[in-house]
Amino acid sequence: MSAEVSPVILRALLPTDVNDTLRWHNDPSLYATLAGTFRPVDRATEEEWLRRVSQPAADAVNLGIVDRSNGALVGCVYLRDLDQDSRSGELHVFIGDSASRGRGLGEAACRAMIRHAFDELGLRRIHLKVLPENVGAIRLYERLGFVRERLEPGAVIKDGAPRDLLVMGMTASAFDFGNKLP
């Protein structure tokens, strides 16, 4: 088995990330592709949010995605709603600026987080929610081992209209651990 170096490094979010995360949280075009609701935020709210998500928590892992080639923060990947009873959690990922997309960084970040979830946190199942129209993201999730499970009708409001969300899920047995990345 050949050892490959991941193109990303996952690290805790820092107060100094505020310029990047504030730009992303205020970008309606990014939120148009995300399952979450767009809520523009001011700098003080963003700083408070960064303080909160950078603290260790029992029910969440919130990490920044760093491009190993230049050290720049390019996005975020989260495991949320970690449940110790069912040993499950929900994956969220985005690459914030369009210029950094399509370069393999999102896939590498997901692989690293999923491996952490199964290998170290002891999860047995990960799920996620995605807009059914986000075919690029769905193709990526299927390549990682997620399967389409069900539609949640009208689960989110976008541009004033209810939109469905697709729930996808994966158990550890469906994940390819073969390509271990340092």
Ligand X SMILES: CC(C)(COP(=O)(O)OP(=O)(O)OC[C@H]1O[C@@H](n2cnc3c(N)ncnc32)[C@H](O)[C@@H]1OP(=O)(O)O)[C@@H](O)C(=O)NCCC(=O)NCCS
Report the interface residues with ligand X, using CB under 6 A: 30, 33-35, 93-95, 101-107, 130, 134, 136-137, 139-140
Closest CB 129 distance from ligand X, rounded Å: 7
CB 118 within 8 A of CB 175: yes
Which C-beta is closer to ligand X: that of 102 or that of 122?
102
Closest CB 44 distance from ligand X, rounded Å: 26
Closest CB 155 distance from ligand X, rounded Å: 13
User: Among all chains, which residue has been given the structure tokens 């690293």?
Assistant: 112
Which C-beta is closer to ligand X: that of 47 or that of 164?
164
Closest CB 85 distance from ligand X, rounded Å: 25
Based on its alpha-carbon atoms, the radius of gyration of the chain, rounded to whole angstroms, reads 16
Which C-beta is closer to ligand X: that of 64 or that of 106?
106
User: Among all chains, which residue has been given the structure tokens 């491996």?
Assistant: 115
Which residue of the chain is nearest ligand X when measured via CB?
Answer: 106
Which C-beta is closer to ligand X: that of 27 or that of 47?
27
Which C-beta is closer to ligand X: that of 130 or that of 172?
130
CB 157 within 8 A of CB 163: yes
Closest CB 138 distance from ligand X, rounded Å: 8
Q: From residue 6, how far is each of 43, 56, 87, 147, 171 by CA, in Å? A: 32, 24, 26, 24, 23
